[in-house]
């Protein structure tokens, strides 16, 4: 027997917190009876669970990594018809969604999963899961700038938590561009850009290269892959969860979504996504 909100989250309905809201709103039923108690326990293998009258489909958790290009929205759909990251994934049977987001003009590592509890824990500030960014800025990243980043930058929504800084390339007279690796565990809106801009260093390019124990590696822009088994275990452990059995996504035989055919073909070929 498991808590109802946990079963809903594992089925990919939403995060556990959102599932709790659905229960409280009277939108969840078990064997035809509306359940509004958060402490209710169910046996998903024996009982019929539905949201708004639609039975949930129990899915085994999967996790994907995408190297997001710029000019894509980190959302499942967009009412204005703009390109979303979902168009870069192959037609898989599991209902995955992005773990957090990357800004429209930011590229790099974006996780996808159908495990709502994993998503919630990875994004919760209390876990302090580190994200690493490769940042190209206009100007010199001097000692004072590094110290400010490591001690915390005063933004309009408060001082940032201490960051880790590694200067890979200092600005020179030719192009005036410095390249930095910045590691933070917060997730404020456009935080990295605002930190550097507050210090007088406009961001030219921004790419996330790691999320907790998962690194982008040599994954090319627009490509995706499943986690390795080692990454799978490490990611769940970083979220404070017992890793479920390792599983790769199930490729559907349905026609690929626009923009996903190339990645899907690679998945069946040399990349074995």
Q: Are 156 and 163 in contact (CB under 8 A)?
A: no
| 116 & 175 share domain | no
Q: In whole angstroms, give the CA distance from residue 220 to residue 218.
A: 6
List residues with catalytic annotation.
103
Q: Are 267 and 112 in contact (CB under 8 A)?
A: no
Q: In whole angstroms, give the CA distance from residue 201 to residue 245.
A: 45
End-to-end CA distance of the chain: 34
Q: In whole angstroms, give the CA distance from residue 15 to residue 11.
A: 10
| 154 & 225 share domain | no
Does residue 273 fall inside a structural domain? no
| Total domains present in the chain | 3
Whether this prediction's pTM lies above 0.85 is answered by: no
Average pLDDT in the chain: 90
pLDDT score of 231? 98
Percent of residues, the chain, with pLDDT higher than 90 = 77
| 15 & 118 share domain | no
| 70 & 117 share domain | yes
Higher pLDDT, 243 or 2: 243
| 121 & 230 share domain | yes
Q: What's the distance, CA 203 to chain centroid?
A: 22
Q: In whole angstroms, give the CA distance from residue 104 to residue 84.
A: 9
Residue 257 belongs to domain spanning: 63-125+213-268
Higher pLDDT, 167 or 45: 167
Q: In whole angstroms, give the CA distance from residue 207 to residue 227.
A: 19
Residues in the chain, how many? 273
**pLDDT 10s digits, 119-145:** 989 999 999 999 999 999 999 999 999
**pLDDT 10s digits, 4-13:** 998 898 787 8
Q: What's the distance, CA 64 to chain centroid?
A: 9
| 109 & 139 share domain | no
Tokens of 193: 């850009």
């Amino acid at each position: 027997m498991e808590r109802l909100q946990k079963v809903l989250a594992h089925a990919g309905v939403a995060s556990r917190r959102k599932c709790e809201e659905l229960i409280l709103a009277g939108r969840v039923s078990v064997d035809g009876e509306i359940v509004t108690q958060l402490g209710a326990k169910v046996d998903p293998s024996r009982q019929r669970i539905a949201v708004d009258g639609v039975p949930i489909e129990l899915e085994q958790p999967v996790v994907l990594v995408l190297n997001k290009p710029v000019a894509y929205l980190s959302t499942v759909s967009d009412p204005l018809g703009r390109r979303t990251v979902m168009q870069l994934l192959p037609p898989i049977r599991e209902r995955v969604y992005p773990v957090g987001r990357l800004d429209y003009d930011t590229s790099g590592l974006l996780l996808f999963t159908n495990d709502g509890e994993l998503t919630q824990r990875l994004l919760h500030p209390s876990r302090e899961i580190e994200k690493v960014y490769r940042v190209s800025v206009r100007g010199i990243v001097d000692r004072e700038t590094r110290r400010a980043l490591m001690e915390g930058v005063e933004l309009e929504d408060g001082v940032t938590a201490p960051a880790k800084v590694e200067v890979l390339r200092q600005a020179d007279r030719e192009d005036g561009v410095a390249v930095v690796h910045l590691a933070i565990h917060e997730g404020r809106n456009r935080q990295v850009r605002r930190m550097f801009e507050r210090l007088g260093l406009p961001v030219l390019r921004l790419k996330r290269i790691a999320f907790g124990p998962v690194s982008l590696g040599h994954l090319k822009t627009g490509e995706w892959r499943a986690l390795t088994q080692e990454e799978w275990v490490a990611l769940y452990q970083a979220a404070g969860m017992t890793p479920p059995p390792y599983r790769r996504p199930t490729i559907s035989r349905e026609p690929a979504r626009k923009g996903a055919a190339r990645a899907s073909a690679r998945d069946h070929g040399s990349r074995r996504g």
